[in-house]
Amino acid sequence: MFQTFDVTARPEQAAPRIAALRESFSALGINAVLVPRTDAYQGEYVPRSAERLAWLTGFTGSAGIALITEKEAIVFVDGRYTTQLTAQTDPALITGGDLVGAPPPEWLTEHRPKGLRLGIDPWLHTPSEVERLEKALQEIGGELVLLAANPVDPIWHDRPAEPAEPISVQKTEFAGRPAADKIAEIAGSLAAKKAGAVLISDSTSVAWLFNIRGNDVVHTPAPLARAIVRADGGAVLFIAPEKVTGEAAAYLDGLADVEAPDALEGALIALAAAGKTLMLDRASVPYAVIGILEAAGGQWVHAADPVVALRAIKNEGEQAGARTAHLQDGAAMVSYLSWL
């Protein structure tokens, strides 16, 4: 992974793009929308296809969220990016907000925009974020609207394709443990949580659990993926099928069922129908997951991602992998074989 400083955003296009977004408000039944920097996997780094905030406003920092109302455009950033925001956006069009001291919920409470119907993409917000927004809107007589699709995508006519590079298999000599053993350990821990299955929604946890790597986003060798592990030891990996080829396809055969990302909704509904309680981490799961589960009458219980604690303790194989270095194109690189 190499850091890049290429700037692909078009800040001079912010005005027509924001205008086009506002034109969609009436049909959506809203008069404001939030456009966060994150993607549906809640990662710090996102693929080009999810760079909605940069495309819309010109701001390319790794943390931020835009509040677009019928008359205002505010981009909330933290202290790292105040200078960058000023440099990359038109101050006549966009004003800066304080992502830490006065994020959108606090801004709403303070400014109290009357009759606000705020639209969000529920795949881009965690449950705690949604709860804070709902509370703030209730205080001012507003309403949160969960949109069926992201409103930026229909106006982003040259939106890049979703990443589709093939995944690779992390050799056991560097992973330290076979994926089957890891999955079995996670499955065995579910009884204590009174859960029939767990949803692993953090892509880096999925990469560690299945001993796979990918190149979907910069700086992080984890493919964008989710997984469900059942108490009976079965597992389903939700990943774009075009990424699973050759050695990786043979490796995953028998280890887990491989389904496309959009098959997750059906899997959640099936768990609900079977009366299985799903364990999930509210800190990393998209709110849309809870919405799907509850709409189907399913039950869920919150618990921290069980993979995180296991990842934190590096075994001998992982430690050896982390020390591995090699030469590529004549430049020394520290291997990320066991970075996760």
Is pLDDT of 329 > 50? no
Residue 8, pLDDT score? 58
Is pLDDT of 335 > 70? no
Q: State the average pLDDT over residues 333-337.
A: 42
Residue 9, pLDDT score? 61
Is pLDDT of 339 > 60? no
pLDDT in tens, 260-306: 999 999 999 999 999 999 999 998 999 999 999 999 999 999 999 99
Is pLDDT of 333 > 80? no
Residue 223, pLDDT score? 97
Residue 11, pLDDT score? 75
pLDDT band of residue 324 (cuts 50, 70, 90) is low
**Three-state SS for 288?**
helix
d(CA 332, CA 240): 32
d(CA 48, CA 330): 28
pLDDT in tens, 99-138: 999 999 999 999 999 899 999 999 999 999 999 999 999 9
Q: State the average pLDDT over residues 158-162.
A: 95
Position 225, amino acid = A
Share of the chain above pLDDT 70, in %: 89
d(CA 40, CA 141): 29
> Closest by alpha carbon to 131, among 280, 265, 283, 296?
283
CB 109, CB 79: distance < 8 Å: no
Q: Is the dihedral of CA 121, 82, 137, 134 positive or negative?
A: positive
Q: What is the mean pLDDT of the chain?
A: 91
d(CA 123, CA 38): 10
Q: The whole model's pTM is what? A: 0.90
For residue 79, CA distances in Å to 92, 129, 217, 220, 258 come to 21, 20, 24, 24, 41
pLDDT in tens, 7-46: 556 778 899 999 999 999 999 999 999 999 999 999 889 9
d(CA 108, CA 99): 13
Query: Tell me, what DSSP letter sits at residue 14?
Result: H
**Three-state SS for 188?**
helix
Residues 6+ apart with CB under 8 A from 145: 28, 29, 30, 117, 118, 119, 120
> Closest by alpha carbon to 258, among 225, 223, 209?
225
- Angle 37-44-39 from CA coordinates, rounded to 5°: 45
- Angle 12-15-21 from CA coordinates, rounded to 5°: 130
Residue 203, pLDDT score? 96
| Residue spans of beta strands (DSSP E) within 105-172 | 117-120, 143-146, 168-169
Residue 179, pLDDT score? 97
In which region does residue 275 sit, left (phi positive, over 0), alpha (psi from -120 to 50) or beta (all else)? left
pLDDT in tens, 38-89: 999 998 899 999 999 999 999 999 999 999 999 999 999 999 999 999 999 9
